[in-house]
Amino acid sequence: MVKYIETEAKSVLYRHKFLDNWFWVRYAINAYRGCQFACNYCDATTEKYLVHKDYKDFSRIIYVKKNVPKVLEKEIKKFKPDVVSLSGVTDPYQPAEREYELTRKILEILAKNRFPVHIGTKSDLVLKDMDILKDISEKTWCTVSFTIITFNKKILPLLEPFAPSPERRLKAIAKLNKEGIQAGVNFIPIVPYLLDGRENIEEVIKRSSEHAKYILIGSGMTLRSNQRIRFLELLSNNFPELVEKYEDLYKNNMNPKKNYMLGLNKLAFKFCRKYGIKNFIKPPRFEIYSAQKTLIPREDYERTNRDLANHLLLIAFFKEFKSGNMYSAWNYHKAAENIGNLGESIKTRHKKDDLKSIPGVGETISKVIGDFLEKGTSKMLESEMNLS
């Protein structure tokens, strides 16, 4: 029996320090805490995110921030439009949404204020809001990412006991894309020794490619604190022969061994190439409007700076994917953030030969910048996108 507890939020729009180069989000909103889908690999049960007294209550007690729309209406005026994630530590279309419709109300406010949106979900309930999502897509930018990790009917009930079937998710993806709303797949996580076989990886990528615009690959399933306890308990009860293998794969770390992740990334990329589907989301481009729905004039340099920043972040994405280390291209993140906030044209800095005064920009990134300003792309990105 699931219990809903209504709460009051003091603030709802969280701003990330750095722009994300997987989902391209700057902000996050979580209208609910806890999730009824009860996925046993979910890392939202870790102390870092958990608001429950006991992690076992994560799927049984759902905290509902009843005043989110009211607070967001006030907060949003203080922020510059950029991509908002719904949601980071819960599913915005879990069953509670049928009763409260907080996600819909949030989307209405974001649409009115011309904020682009990235939704992550496992539910086709998102289809009820296609009218708003289409409006956002046409006026700014929108994408919906559905988690699909397997079609195996024996394993799914153990990993995602109360989530809608992956077949329903694929149908939702097809409907959204047909309506001009970009939709793709999060193949996150690839669960070690249960779903990391060639057959499962190829099936998920092949079937996704028939409907999705992209598929993001997550080979580094985390195991930490409550999440580790919960998942190892599941293994002990259902796959006891895997417990020792997991202990060897993870040791005392939250991520599996680097070589293991790199092998899966390379295999997944191979199948993405085979079935003609991107393993990344193309960086969004959108105009910035005021609350009065009037276009805010921007200098050409602002658009150029942002496009360059996104280009650097995309290079970082592929470097990290190839290295199995999310911090392996941190200078690209720093450089991108500082270029995005530069306040003057990057072309001016380039002409002055003053790029290296920008934090994060060294000799290599300076060459990438020059390449981009001349051609609109770079040899570095072309090279990093090739994993063969």
Residues 220 and 91 in one domain: yes
CA distance 286 to 97: 28
The tens digit of pLDDT for each residue in 82-108 reads: 999 998 899 999 999 999 999 999 999
Residues 230 and 345 in one domain: no
CA distance 133 to 128: 10
The tens digit of pLDDT for each residue in 194-230 reads: 999 999 999 999 999 999 999 999 999 999 999 999 9
Residues 174 and 244 in one domain: yes
Does this model's pTM top 0.85? My answer is yes
- Domain around 308: 300-384
Residues 304 and 271 in one domain: no
Residues 269 and 336 in one domain: no
Residues 269 and 330 in one domain: no
Cα separations in angstroms, 168 against 117, 160, 175: 22, 14, 11
CA distance 374 to 388: 27
Residues 330 and 195 in one domain: no
Residues 223 and 322 in one domain: no
* Contact indicator for 110, 83 with CB cutoff of 8 Å: no
Residue 329's domain is classified under what CATH number? Answer: 1.10.150.110
Residue 152 lies in a domain: yes
Residues 260 and 178 in one domain: yes
Question: Residue 341: which residues within 8 A CB-CB, separation 6 or more?
Answer: none
Residue 212's domain is classified under what CATH number? Answer: 3.20.20.70
Residue 290 lies in a domain: no
Residues 219 and 345 in one domain: no
Q: Shortest CA distance to 25 belongs to which of 255, 218, 292, 310?
A: 310
Assess whether pLDDT exceeds 90 at residue 124.
yes
Residues 370 and 268 in one domain: no
How many structural domains is the chain composed of? 2
Two tokens at 211? 């409907």
Residue 334 lies in a domain: yes
The tens digit of pLDDT for each residue in 352-373 reads: 999 999 999 999 999 999 999 9
The tens digit of pLDDT for each residue in 312-353 reads: 999 999 999 988 887 889 999 999 999 999 989 999 999 999
Residue 243 lies in a domain: yes
Residue 283 lies in a domain: no
